[in-house]
A = this chain, B = another copy of it.
Amino acid sequence: MVRSTVKIVTMMAIIAASVSVDAQRGKSQKPLVIADQGSFFVGGESKTIGGAAPVQGRGGAPPGEVTVNQMYVQYQIPPGAERHLPVVMVHGCCLSSKTWETTPDGRMGWDEYFVRRDRPVYLADQVSRARSGFDATTINAVKAGTVPASQLPNVLFATHQIAWTVFRFGPSYGKTFPDGQFPIEAVDELYKQMIPDLNALLPMPNPTWTNMAALAVRLKGAILMGHSESGFFPEQAALIDPSGIRGMISIEMPCPAELTDPQIATLAKIPTLVMFGDHLGDVQGGPANWATSYDSCEKYVQRVKTAGGDAEMMHLPKMGIKGNSHMLMQDRNNLQLADLVLQWIDRHAEAGKAVSRTH
């Protein structure tokens, strides 16, 4: 019986995947219309450095200021977007905003799909990653011999082997799940997205949290979305300043148990969606334990509900959607999952609320 259920669900997944492919085909036929697009920074502060930064290979530079802790944001706003809340997407560990763009096998990512569903979309590179840059002063000081090598950050640089099981492409490296939704034939393209993570350099609170909260205020209301390392960043941002945050979407991360009742009360005022994929306990090795993460988030969701909040745990296999990996926004059924998120936004973050806004 278990086997036939798996078969039926696999068929459903294949059908869902075909729908996505059709949506993808539609992409090349129907042009994308953009009312406004561009990029900007949120946050950032000046830091005085001592002059150990050589430029263009011509020796040490005089002391001066550099800017650190800024967050790069790239956006697209479709026509008529004032009817919907903007969605801010923040990537996970060892990744950049590439997470949300074209999938490793060349299909449409969530960024464009949300724009095609009339949402303004803001992609943020985490502070200390990608186009946000990072504070290089420690590395330069170690090279100059003024601080010991032990002060270098732990640079997280995940191997293919670690990614395979942490991202749940299969039970162990090189093996796949029969119903796996990740486009494993294109896994080499995913590996190219994996870039060194320098978050160990960051002060606390993480400037990405502060900048996400500030971005929501700047947008006069926004949905914040995080994934994995950044899964709980929407909530961390809300604990700093909830005033601009209209919804929080947290995808696959551990949820903290040590939150106080006042903190839960703050978070319970904002609609929350938590999403987890499949095979949480079916992988071996690697630093993540997704079954434990799931349990911690089940408890968190219950706690928010008990406090009167609108929180939902969307565990995909329980909804008949099987085989989703940790990189579910890149899975074959990624647009089906995007539709679930969009419907949740409509019903929970926008329902009965006037969202007519100016951007």
Contact = CB atoms under 8 A, between A and B. Distances in A.
A2 to B, nearest CB: 33
A143 B59 CA distance: 24
Number of copies: 2
A159 B37 contact: no
A334 to B, nearest CB: 14
Contacts of A74: 101
Interface of A: 27-28, 31-41, 44, 46, 49, 53-59, 61-67, 70, 72, 74, 79, 93-94, 96-98, 101-102, 106, 108-109, 112, 125, 130-134, 136-137, 139-140, 142-143, 145, 149-150, 152-162, 166, 188-189, 191-196, 200, 229, 286-288
Q: Is chain A's interface secondary structure helix, strand, loop, or mixed overall?
A: mixed
A152 to B, nearest CB: 4
Contacts of A136: 155, 157, 196
A301 to B, nearest CB: 22
A143 B149 CA distance: 5
Given A64-B162, A136-B157, 17 more contacts: A28-B36, A32-B35, A37-B112, A38-B109, A39-B101, A44-B191, A49-B159, A54-B154, A55-B94, A55-B162, A55-B287, A56-B156, A63-B159, A66-B158, A66-B191, A67-B188, A139-B196
Given A27-B36, A32-B33, A101-B39, A287 B192 contact: no
Contact of A131 (B41, B66, B125, B143): B125
Q: Which 6 A-B pairs have the closest CB atoms?
A: A133-B195, A64-B159, A38-B102, A64-B161, A136-B196, A143-B152
A139 B162 contact: no
Nearest to A107: B38
